Amino acid sequence: MAAKKPKTETDFPKRALTLATWNINSVRARQDLMHGFLQQYAPDILCLQETKVRDSEFPHDLFVQHGYAHRLIQGQPGYNGVAIFARFPIELAEARKLVGRDDKRHIAARLPDGTVIHNYYVPAGGDIPDPKKNDKFQHKLDVLAEMTAWSKGLGRKGKRHVLVGDLNIAPLESDVWSHKQLLDVVSHTPVETEGLLALQKTHGWLDAMRHFVGPSEKLYSWWSYRSPDWEKADKGRRLDHVWLSPDLAPALKGCQVVKAMRGKEKASDHAPVLATLDLAATGG
């Protein structure tokens, strides 16, 4: 994709918008990586997870340099953290404390047309897929259950919501490099995959990535640091997602995993996911 020129606020909502979601795995440690991505792809809306920095130490200048005058940030030192950036005015819709914990895993922005972007960072869940032996896995299941109840409350019609983020679950067999070998690995266990698909059904969410890539085709957004040659091995998982409310389905014009960013120096283990939305096409 060719480099883009900076956009202006007056462009909204008269044209298609680009939205990126990315688990950056420490925004301060990957400023050069972020600079390159913003310079080349210049999304109108950028949602980050795992920023790992308190709000007072966030590298604001980097984003100002690239034209993101509007920002919502929920951060803490060393862990978690979510943020939303835009080239046009946005306002805070909510910042939920999932299962009663203020661990900075959700933030939502309301766009000028009323569309709400929900940015989630679901817990990874540790290594043992047994809630009796692993509190982290129980925490993950609790967050998933709360998100499901929240999604049911949205209603299936008359709502303009976008859900993005690192949901830390690869729901389909084709979302992992080996379904059989990962059935008992956290992120692809049946209780997780069935739970995420149930969550998706509660609101009739459209899986933007799978709208363009059929469910039988392999599709990943994460590759482990443990692999000495991640690209050759290609043992990936699709942990990052973009979902749209049914009313916004006509707005979806494109979606892609920007895999090239995984191969950059000091890369995150997640690649960005970039979606194109024509919100005006839905009457917004």
Q: What is the pLDDT of residues 191-214, one digit of tens each?
A: 999 999 999 999 999 999 999 999
Q: Domain locations in the chain?
A: 13-120+159-168+205-282
Q: Name the 3-class secondary structure at 198.
A: helix
Sheet of strand 45-49, all strands in order from the earlier edge strand to the far edge: 70-74, 82-86, 45-49, 17-23, 273-277, 252-257
Architecture of domain 13-120+159-168+205-282: 4-Layer Sandwich (3.60)
Average of per-residue pLDDT values in the chain = 94
Burial 135-147 (b: 16+ CB within 10 A, else e): eebbbbbbbbeeb
Mean pLDDT across 103-118: 97
Burial 150-170 (b: 16+ CB within 10 A, else e): bbeebeeeebbbbbbbbbbbb
CB 262 within 8 A of CB 240: no
Q: What is the pTM of this model?
A: 0.94
Token pair of 17 as six digits: 């918008």
Cα angle for residues 175, 178, 180 (degrees, 5° grid): 115
User: Could you tell me the pLDDT band of residue 157, with boundaries at 50, 70 and 90?
Assistant: low
